[in-house]
Structure 1
């Protein structure tokens, strides 16, 4: 009888531990975080034609990809969501090393003046894509 109680207690403890560990600890990013990532990672994506184009709504990628690679981007305020569209205030700054030449060597630091623009993103198939991204 003692053995059965011990087995039941072990199974119960095991089950409670398993239930208590049901949370994987992985936090799913919010819409806001996903939209911000689309903006703030753009400078890195500008080093490759295909990756740069994939950050934008189809047909909306600017022709001056190199200019985007010479700048850094930071969301600088609250986004305004309207369904599958969001407008985001973006601080655009220079001082980053241009890598858009594709030769693998870092270029000299950009001396572009800091500015702020409002960019528009659109959610397509669950992913935020840039629709309009003026540099200034």
Structure 2
């Protein structure tokens, strides 16, 4: 299940790909900022399994506690700072994300994590923003 910030990031990316209007047509390339923000906002969904989670990170930077990342939601909480192929992003990390697996639903589990804000670092690797450092708090 996608949380509101993930839905917003997905919608932003989808709407940035096409331009419509009087006589305008074509594809618009998303900005670096949009791509970096999508990498942050989508991490909760990607953390559902190793095959999706690991590629979101720079090689050698994949956290061992993937489950902790899957129990939280993420949204950009301010202005990003770009320095060539590196960006630092203030990220709001929130808990109480609803259960996503059948066994969690039967048990009525939700995450009990409080809200925090951290600074994450992303690196551009082959024209994609990958997470280098993503502390949870």
TM range (shorter): 0.7 to 0.9
Unaligned runs of at least 5 residues, structure 1: 1-19
SS at match of 1:116: strand
Equivalent residues in 2 for 1:21-60 (5 A)?
21=23, 23-24=25-26, 26-60=27-61
The equivalent of 1:66 in structure 2 is 67
Unaligned runs of at least 5 residues, structure 2: 1-21
Distance (Å, rounded) in 2 between the aligned partners of 1:23 and 1:78:
30
CA displacement, residues 22-48 of structure 1 (integer Å, 9 cap, x when unaligned): 622x43211001000000000100111
The equivalent of 1:10 in structure 2 is none
CA RMSD of aligned residues (A): 1.6
For the pair shown, the structure with the greater C-alpha radius of gyration is: 1
Distance (Å, rounded) in 1 between the aligned partners of 2:93 and 2:103:
20
Q: CA deviation at 1:98?
A: 4.4
Distance (Å, rounded) in 1 between the aligned partners of 2:81 and 2:99:
30
Question: Aligned pair count?
Answer: 112
Confirm or deny: 8 A CA contact 1:73 1:90 kept in the other structure: yes
